[in-house]
Amino acid sequence: VEGVYGNNEQGGLGNLVQETATKELNKINISEADMALLHQGFYQVSHGTSALTTGRAFSNGAAVSISGKTGTAESYVNGGQKAN
């Protein structure tokens, strides 16, 4: 994330409102092909044609392309799994 942006009169990306400092928390070793597959899955949550496309309502009419995830977020803290 580079920052928080406003929107323009057409609903597209506007000016930078607040710049955000980034901090890398974790890094995983993943191939570009696997990362592309993950990106496609996130995209399909909002743009897929299946009856199971749970995020379609959020993307209809959006001025920018959005992606999302479904399900419960999970974290691993001190070696243990935790649902968020």
The C-alpha atoms of residue 68 and residue 34 are separated, in whole angstroms, by 17
Residue 33 falls within a domain, yes or no? Answer: yes
- pTM across the whole model: 0.54
Q: What is the pLDDT of residues 3-23, one digit of tens each?
A: 999 998 888 889 999 999 888
The answer to whether residue 28 sits within a structural domain is: yes
Q: Is 15 within a domain?
A: yes
The verdict on residue 80 lying in a domain is no
Q: Please check whether residue 78 lies inside any domain of the structure.
A: no
Whether 82 maps to a domain, the answer reads: no
> pLDDT tens for residues 22-57?
888 888 899 999 999 999 998 988 888 888 787 877
Q: Which domain holds residue 21?
A: 3-69
Q: How many domains does the chain have?
A: 1
CA distances from 58 to 1, 34, 45, 63, 67 (A): 20, 26, 10, 11, 9
